[in-house]
Amino acid sequence: MYTLLIKNGIIIDGTGNPWFRGDVAIEGDTIKKIGKIPAESAEKIIDAKGLAVSPGFIDPHTHFDLTLTLPNHTDLLEPYIRQGVTTFGIGNCGMSAAPVTDESLDLMKGYLALITAGTPSWSWRSMGDYLNLLDKQGVAFNVAALVGQGAIRFSVMGAKAGKPSREEMEEMKALLRRSLEEGAFGMSTGLVYPPGMWTSTDELVELAKVLAEYGAVYTSHVRGSSETGIDSEKELVTIAKTGVRVQHSHHEAFGEKFWGNVYETVRIDEEARREGLDIAYDVIPYTYVNTYLTAIFPPWALEGGMPKLVERLKDPETRAKIKKDVTELIPIWPPWEPGRWPHNLVEAGGWENIGILSIPSGRKRDWIGKTLVEIGKKLKKDPFDVAADLIVEEGGGVMAFYLGVTGDRGLKFLLSHPLASGNSDAILTGTGVPHAAAYGTYPRIIGYYGRELGLYSLEEAVRKVTSSPARRLGLERRGILEAGMYADITVFDPKRIIDKASMKKPAQYPEGIEYVIINGQLVFEKGKYYKKLRAGKVLRRT
| Distance in angstroms (rounded) separating the CA atoms of residues 143 and 540 | 9
Cβ within 8 Å of residue 275, ≥6 positions away? none
Same structural domain, 161 and 307: no
- Give the residue-averaged pLDDT of 526-542: 97
pLDDT in tens, 428-475: 888 788 999 999 999 999 999 999 999 999 999 999 999 999 999 999
Q: Torsion angle of alpha carbons 296, 118, 442, 32, nearest 10°?
A: 140
Q: Torsion angle of alpha carbons 66, 70, 72, 78, nearest 10°?
A: 30
pLDDT of 316 over the 80 cut:
yes
Same structural domain, 103 and 249: yes
Same structural domain, 323 and 365: yes
Same structural domain, 100 and 78: yes
Total count of domains within the chain: 2
pLDDT of 397 over the 90 cut:
no
Same structural domain, 184 and 279: yes
pLDDT in tens, 181-190: 999 999 999 9
What phi, psi does 85 have (nearest 5°)? -80, 135
Same structural domain, 323 and 468: no
Same structural domain, 389 and 421: no
| Distance in angstroms (rounded) separating the CA atoms of residues 218 and 233 | 14
Residue that is last in its domain, among 402, 435, 470: 402
pLDDT in tens, 398-415: 999 999 999 999 999 999
pLDDT in tens, 364-375: 999 999 999 999
pLDDT in tens, 480-507: 999 999 999 999 999 999 999 999 999 9
Cβ within 8 Å of residue 522, ≥6 positions away? 4, 44, 46, 515, 516, 530
In this prediction, residue 117 has a pLDDT band, given cuts at 50, 70 and 90, of confident
Per-residue pLDDT, 33: 98
Same structural domain, 162 and 304: no
Q: Which residues pair with 4 in a beta bridge?
A: 26
Task: Tell me the CATH number at 178.
Answer: 3.20.20.140
Q: Is residue 15 part of a domain?
A: no
Residue ranges making up the domain that contains 74: 55-288+404-529
pLDDT of 38 over the 90 cut:
yes
In this prediction, residue 113 has a pLDDT band, given cuts at 50, 70 and 90, of confident
Q: Which residues pair with 248 in a beta bridge?
A: 220, 281
Q: Is residue 133 part of a domain?
A: yes
| Distance in angstroms (rounded) separating the CA atoms of residues 223 and 261 | 14
Same structural domain, 112 and 101: yes
| Distance in angstroms (rounded) separating the CA atoms of residues 371 and 403 | 9
Same structural domain, 284 and 307: no
Q: Is residue 538 part of a domain?
A: no
Same structural domain, 305 and 438: no
Per-residue pLDDT, 368: 93
Q: Is residue 44 part of a domain?
A: no
Residue that is last in its domain, among 367, 402, 437: 402
